[in-house]
Structure 1
Amino acid sequence: MNPHHVILLGPPGSGKGTQAKFLVQNYELTHISTGNLLRAEMQGKTELGAKAKDFIDKGALVPDSLVIDMLVKFIKTLDPSKGWLLDGFPRTAAQALEITKQSILTPTSIIELLVNEDTICERMSGRRFDPITGDTYHIVNDPAPVAIAERCIVRSDDKIEIIKERFQIYRDQCAGIHEVFGDQVKKLSVDGSTISQVSAQIKDILG
């Protein structure tokens, strides 16, 4: 069987991180995060990392073409008999177009997790962050232990107005991605679904 090359998309709070772990564990995929790649290139003081640092030091965004170069470089180091999971990238139509120009980045599956805004707000506004341990809890689904509950805080990006803004940005940008990839994007509505139910839907897509 040919290896799976999966792009996983979804707004903040959609459970994308949880499903990424499921995919990595069950399909032996290499997890790829462009943010992690960027940090690794800069820490390694590579040529690509130096170029990226120049943009960041100037307060500019790293160009899509440079991020794509990092992706291509990394995927070339992987065992071709194994698959990979590209987590949360592309984010824009321009990035999606860049991906289509590189055969090594051609996905076998593109999965998008769909969640409505109210569900996202409920999930994310209920999160509480422990500034000492770095752990994250949820006031309903995973409450912090009583002994530390008072010190847990709401992160600035978990406030309702910020959540709604990020959700709208995601929707606006994802519309362009759909135009590039068309019917190749498999949309999974995860409202009201358990983690295992979503995983089962993904398994149906990948086989």
Structure 2
Amino acid sequence: MNDRLLIFIGPPGSGKGTQSKLLCKNKEMLSISTGDILRKEVTDETNIGKRVSSKMKNGQLVSDDLINELFYKHFELEYKKNKYGIIADGYPRTLNQAKYLDSLSKDFGIDIRVCVFLCKEEVLVKRLQLRKRQDDEIAIIIKRLKDYYNFIAPVIKYYGNKINEVDVNDDPENIYNRIISFLN
């Protein structure tokens, strides 16, 4: 299974991070979350963090080039340690990122599988408000959801038959079991 890349695509608050953590814990998979990477860069006040801080506070997407570069850097490190597969949490978000990731997977000889998390908007908003991150204010939440739906449609179309839709309006354990059944 170490030649598998599992992509989690879903709106903010859909549980990508939660499911990623469960798979890492129970299935010894490794996870790369571009959101976590960016938040760490901002917290650590790195040059990258300083460049992306205002974009993140305003709910804007960071450039494809920078996201691809950060993903590759972490992917290369994780791939060497990987035993059971890698999870891409929240990446790709744009068609250009998807094409880049496809090229990367071919270079490494990795099979891509995609889980698209489907969730009602009111559930997402409620989850995001409970999370209390800096970028989880209601105006930013609405902008991030709108941007997600605008950018993700071409990505979903691009992946076509590699996609498995997962209803995530449920509790984390039931969602986890659905994902496991997709992987098996």
Pairs within 5 Å for 1:1-207: 1-37=1-37, 63-77=63-77, 78-79=80-81, 81-102=83-104, 103=106, 104=108, 106-125=110-129, 127=130, 129=132, 157-159=136-138, 161-191=139-169, 193-207=170-184
Change (3 A) 1:105 1:164: farther
Letter of the 2:87 counterpart: L
Contact 1:33–1:88 under 8 Å retained in 2: yes
Q: Which has the higher contact order (CA 8 A, sep 6+)?
A: 2
CA distance in 2, matches of 1:99, 1:156: 26
Contact 2:5–2:86 under 8 Å retained in 1: yes
CA distance in 2, matches of 1:105, 1:64: 23
CA distance in 1, matches of 2:76, 2:5: 13
Which one has a bigger Cα radius of gyration? 1
Change (3 A) 1:128 1:112: closer
RMSD across aligned positions (CA): 3.5
Alpha-carbon distance, 1:73 to partner: 3.9
Contact 1:4–1:29 under 8 Å retained in 2: no
Q: Which string of whole-angstrom CA distances, capped at 9 and with x for unpartnered residues, describes residues 97-151 of structure 1? A: 11122223844311111101122223334x275xxxxxx8xxxxxxxxxxxxxxx
Change (3 A) 1:112 1:34: same
Change (3 A) 1:28 1:162: same
CA distance in 2, matches of 1:6, 1:34: 14
CA distance in 1, matches of 2:63, 2:70: 11
Change (3 A) 1:79 1:202: same
Alpha-carbon distance, 1:200 to partner: 0.6
Letter of the 2:153 counterpart: A
Which secondary structure state, in structure 1, belongs to the residue aligned with residue 159 of structure 2?
Answer: helix
Match of 2:58 in 1: none
TM-score (norm 2): 0.74
TM-score (norm 1): 0.67
Q: Which string of whole-angstrom CA distances, capped at 9 and with x for unpartnered residues, describes residues 52-79 of structure 1? A: 579659x8x8643443344334333323
Change (3 A) 1:28 1:62: same
Compare the two structures and name the one with the higher helix fraction.
Answer: 2
Q: In structure 2, list runs of 5 or more residues that go unmatched.
A: 56-60
CA distance in 2, matches of 1:156, 1:42: 12
Percentage of pairs with the same residue: 30
Change (3 A) 1:123 1:204: same
